[in-house]
Copies of this chain bind each other. A is one copy, B any other.
Amino acid sequence: MEPFALKNALENVRNTTPLVHCITNYVTVNDCANALLASGGSPIMSDEPADVADITAICGGLVLNIGTLNARSIEAMHVAGARAAELGHAIVLDPVGAGASALRTDTAGELLDELPVRVVRGNMSEVKALAGASAATRGVDVNPDDVVTEENLAASAAFARDLAARSGAVVAVTGAIDIVADADRAFAIRNGSPLMGHITGAGCMLTCVCAAFAVANPQALLESQVAAVAGMGLAGQQAAGRMGGMDGNGSFRTYLLDALYRLNGDALEAGAKVEELA
């Protein structure tokens, strides 16, 4: 991947202010909205079935995050998804907690089967559950057995490519090492900070940012997702570097949004640690 693609991907978001309809959990929704704004997009939230078709129609992208799913929001996801599909919008699925409950696993699977999902973003446990692989999920955190390491990187990338091939979506598996893959190519991204696991919502925020990047870069979807993942990781590194002696996860959360807000194309190119896997 040429470095310019990452820079372009970010600048395309900043220059077009993509509107993203988010049906997402109420735990991290405020951070999701602010992360979208920080990256250059614009958020709209709605999860009422009677509202979502209109709302999604004025947007360019749709995030389906099942973090606090309920009967109403599941219905809303199907209604909004169908409308977004008709309109050719970028649909991004975040299977939060898939594998942790039957309802989550089933809902995520149905959405993936039913809709032309353009990007799946989750941790390896969630993505494995979504793929129907047997995976014991530790709630909303990755199962230790599923952590992507240098040792299992090739196998993990092959898994992501396989799910991408089967689903037609770009698959972004995030963790200590991130993987972004479509059916043909896979990239490892080694940005980020362990502190991102000490706040709630780093994954949910990234999912929304992925949607903004997908909307703004329709001709370079895979590259745009690499840019989004590397960008969020770089923001995490910068936030970690800013931590002072009295700071904890409260400040880190603020710094993460700040760093995402201040990220520019040149910094992204210079800081992104992206490797194309064989």
Contacts and interface: CB of A to CB of B under 8 A. Distances in A.
Given A30-B30, A199-B34, A242-B246, A103 B54 contact: yes
A44 B248 contact: no
A87 to B, nearest CB: 15
Interface string A86-130: 000000000001001111100000000000000000000000000
B68 A70 contact: no
B97 A55 contact: yes
A50 interface: yes
Interface string A242-255: 10001111110111
A40 B34 CA distance: 25
A256 B250 contact: yes
Contacts of A55: 97, 100-101, 139
A34 B250 contact: yes
B58 A138 contact: yes
How many copies altogether? Answer: 3
Given A37-B198, A54-B103, A246-B262, A47 B70 contact: yes
Contacts of A26: 26, 29, 45
Given A38-B249, A100-B58, A199-B37, A27 B45 contact: yes
Given A102-B54, A139-B42, A47 B30 contact: no
A250 B254 contact: yes
A19 to B, nearest CB: 5
A250 B38 contact: yes
Contacts of A70: 47-48, 51, 72
A262 B250 contact: no
User: Closest 9 A-B residue pairs measured CB to CB?
Assistant: A248-B261, A250-B257, A54-B101, A248-B258, A33-B200, A250-B254, A48-B70, A44-B139, A250-B258
